[in-house]
Amino acid sequence: MGFGRSDRRRRSAPDPVALKLLVAGGFGVGKTTLVGAVSEIRPLRTEEPLSEAGRPVDDIHGVEAKSTTTVAMDFGRITLREDLVLYLFGTPGQDRFWFLWDELAQGALGAVVLADTRRLEDCFAAVDYFERRGIPFTVAVNLFDGATQHATETVRDALDLDPHVPVVMCDARDRASAKEVLITVVEHAAKVAADRREPAAT
């Protein structure tokens, strides 16, 4: 018996599921770098040069070599599997651009909070933002050259994270390392969603 067009349609692969993830963290922590490292398309970047006018509000202590800053968002895309595509939105790190976060967070499955152990306090605001909105997130410690490395539990304690929040180490410049971070976020978000669907015990 031959196969008709209807059979071919049934056997064709389904359209991939598209998921939205945020990449957040403090100023100069490596958000643009991570998005650029994993994106399979040329990433959209909205970076502008740092100016003298911005020095009073942009704290570059610890990242003195940084010469540009994201003023809206970074955008990239990565296909994790044939049936799963991630759209990445990197948030601006400075307080003066916080008004953009609510728009970027709409419909997000989860988030990466990038952390720099030399300026760990810079990611407190991002952690608080996702906790208050119930958005699952993973903390990824970006291992900058020359920075002191700390155990994941030390970072967890310093950030006062709930036990279920994943903490991982990464190199935001390395595609494989950044991809593992995204996989961790997706798996964590899926578990949180499943737990929320379970009926409460009587």
CA atoms of 11 and 8, how far apart (whole Å): 5
Q: What pLDDT does residue 18 have?
A: 95
- Helix (H) or strand (E) holding 7, with range, is helix 5-11
In a structure prediction context, what are the per-residue pLDDT tens digits for the chain, which is 202 residues long?
A: 454 555 555 556 678 899 999 999 988 899 999 999 999 998 876 544 544 444 445 454 544 444 444 445 789 999 988 899 999 999 886 665 667 888 889 999 999 999 999 999 999 999 999 999 999 999 999 999 888 889 999 999 999 999 999 999 999 999 999 999 999 999 999 999 999 988 655 5
Q: What pLDDT does residue 146 have?
A: 83
- Which residue from 80, 61, 58 is spatially nearest to 70, judged by alpha carbons? 58
Where do the domains of the chain lie, and which CATH numbers do they carry? 5-197 (3.40.50.300)
The pTM assigned to this predicted structure is 0.78
Length of the chain in terms of residues written: 202
- Which residue from 109, 104, 119, 118 is spatially nearest to 24, judged by alpha carbons? 104
CA separation, residue 1 to residues 4, 7, 30, 75, 107 (Å): 9, 11, 58, 48, 46
Give the list of residues 6+ apart from residue 192 with CB closer than 8 angstroms, or none: 110, 136, 164
